[in-house]
Amino acid sequence: MTTKNKGLPPALGGPSPFPRRRSGPGCGMCASCDVREYTFCAALSPQEMGSIEAIVRSVRLAPGQILFQEGEEASDVFNLVRGVVKLYKLLPDGRRQITGFLFPGDFLGIAGAGGYSYNAEAVTETGLCRFPRRQLFALFERFPKLEHRLFAIATDELTAAQDQMLLLGRKTAEEKVASFLCRLADRIDLGETRGGEVPVPMTRSDIGDYLGLTVETVSRTLSRLRKRGLIAVPDVNRVVLLRREAIEEIAEAY
Amino acid sequence: MTTKNKGLPPALGGPSPFPRRRSGPGCGMCASCDVREYTFCAALSPQEMGSIEAIVRSVRLAPGQILFQEGEEASDVFNLVRGVVKLYKLLPDGRRQITGFLFPGDFLGIAGAGGYSYNAEAVTETGLCRFPRRQLFALFERFPKLEHRLFAIATDELTAAQDQMLLLGRKTAEEKVASFLCRLADRIDLGETRGGEVPVPMTRSDIGDYLGLTVETVSRTLSRLRKRGLIAVPDVNRVVLLRREAIEEIAEAY
DNA sequence: CGTGGCTTTGAATTACATCAAACCTTGTGG
DNA sequence: CCACAAGGTTTGATGTAATTCAAAGCCACG
């Protein structure tokens, strides 16, 4: 919530907001979209894209703002264009489990009959494309490719969820943190590699709630990795993976 | 692995194996399938069903037998018709996380490009329908309803996975075990209610690996619930929920 | 009737949580 | 420009839930 997107690489919320001021039918905005090729939009050809542009609206969120909450009727789905979003579930007494962090290009809003099954909140300044679910799903008839793509996205998320269950249920604190750092790095490297430096836009508390740990344990574990020379922590929002292979080894528990 | 399906209710592996001796194109076997209405097959009308029957083959597994392993090319998908199957992932040192237990009517084999993302092993005597992935997915063109249905299944699984992450990351041992018992009961009650008696076909070790606990902790927690009069345990494979509401309350951490 | 695998219970250990306090950073207002 | 208030972070001391180690009990099966 504190994070100002200073120093973050393009992929994590640098400049490149929405290419045109306003989105809307036929404005051609999608053509210049930074993340198009990573989203379900890529399922459609540039010509077909008009059908999507006709129903999209853009949304911006400041850090800490909530996009939707668990149980709300899931009327829309979204593509994250800029910034970072966290998804989480809560227990009645306030315990929180973050089920995922989303980065530009990620899709969110997959939901069943019970409405959204989690809360979605902006971690940084965020830009999204909003699609009315009914209208988007209606396009499935004309463009089956679109549904194929969403199906594939759901499949990938399911695989990721299984990995996360393994992490939550069976890894130690150190393995959890190492895994987290590696995954962040993987995600960033989609752009380019930059000497192992990984931006960490979320708070220690967020990381803890993602890994099933407390803030203190996250902090301590990072300190220990630092003292062992595996990472450097120039400031709270950046970690440098000094010995990536060693960290991967810890993460995968070899 | 030990479990013999003695005393298990129909929904969990009672009589009702495959209605006809052999499955195969046009044999009409699907018409009398016990679980058809719960599976993706229900997306097709009885007339359309022939297309599915043309590609289905049946599989039987004894307890402990492996259906497929993580990383294998995912050439088939399956419908569980009878019995119980567990899905799990392993760490190199042998730590195991069970990501789900499947019951009759459940679908398995959703997988991305990297092949199956988990191992699938029979818990009890098991009967499944096997579908070559390519052939089944080819039917999507003629029957978009089929893809809709599979998409919906993936969505539901994703929701369940998020619940499980909350459980693994943030619930106490007691809350975990209570949640587990309630979910088992919900799943069984699809058939009918039977005075809170829930069949537990998996071992304590399986339960532990599903909940991110050790065998001992599972056993101790069950003993404690029993001593408090919330459950009865007539034998290792059965639990009676004596005070379902109280257990639900523990499970949801009110 | 003995053997092997699962389960239960007890005792000792430990990884992580909790409690507490100091430290930083950032933004605000005098 | 500085003081200080508010959050987030780090570190230390202490506590504890759950694990680990150990052993006995229970069944099912040959």
Please name the residue that has the structure tokens 């490719």: A145
D18 C1' – B87 CA distance, angstroms?
Answer: 24
At residue A254, the pLDDT reads 87
Verify whether the Cβ–Cβ distance B151 to A155 is below 8 Å.
no
Under a CB-based contact definition with an 8 Å cutoff, are residues B1 and B209 in contact? no
Which residue's C-alpha is at the least distance from the C1' of D19? Answer: B214
pLDDT for A29: 81
Out of B91, B161, B170, the one facing A158 most closely (by C-beta) is B161
Closest-CA distance of chain A to residue B168, Å: 6
Strand partners, A102: A85
CB B88 within 8 A of CB B70: no
- Interatomic distance B29 CA / D12 C1' (Å): 69
Across the interface, do A165 and B168 touch by the CB < 8 Å criterion?
yes
- Look at phi and psi of residue A71 and say left if phi exceeds 0, alpha if psi is from -120 to 50, else beta: left
Q: Integer distance in angstroms from CA B220 to C1' C12?
A: 17
Is A161 within 8 Å of B162 when comparing Cβ atoms?
yes
Are B154 and A155 a contacting pair at CB < 8 A?
yes
Unique residue bearing structure tokens 């044999």: B27
Of A188-202, B28-42, B91-105, highest mean pLDDT: B91-105
pLDDT number for residue B194:
72
The pairs formed by B11-16 with CB atoms below 8 angstroms and a separation of 24 or more are B11/B103, B11/B104, B11/B188, B11/B190, B11/B191, B12/B83, B12/B84, B12/B103, B12/B104, B12/B124, B12/B188, B12/B199, B12/B201, B13/B82, B13/B83, B13/B84, B13/B104, B13/B124, B13/B125, B13/B126, B13/B201, B16/B82
Average pLDDT rounded to a whole number, residues B48-58: 95
Q: Which of B92, B156, B169 sits opposite A168 (nearest CB)?
A: B169
Rounded CA-CA distance A213/B49 in Å is 49
Confidence (pTM):
0.91
For residue A47, the tally of other CB atoms under 10 A from its CB is 7
The rounded distance, in Å, linking the Cα atoms of A240 and B169 is 26
Chain B environment of A157 (Cβ under 8 Å):
158
C-beta of residue B42 within 8 angstroms of C-beta of residue B33: no
Question: What pLDDT sits at residue B19?
Answer: 43
Closest CA to B143 of B41, B27, B214, B244: B41
Q: Which residue of chain B comes nearest to A156, CA vs CA?
A: B112
What's the token pair of residue B134? 């390519």
Q: What is the pLDDT of residues A60-106, one digit of tens each?
A: 999 999 999 999 999 999 999 999 999 999 999 999 999 999 999 99
Cα separations (Å) of A181 from A84, A222, A233, A240?
16, 10, 12, 9
Q: Band of the pLDDT at B200, cuts 50, 70, 90?
A: very high
Task: Using the predicted structure, report yes or no on whether residue B68 has a pLDDT greater than 80.
Answer: yes
Q: Which helix (H) or strand (E) holds A139?
A: helix A133-142
Say if A34 is an interface residue toward chain B (CB within 8 Å): no
Closest residue of chain B to A162, computed from CA coordinates: B99
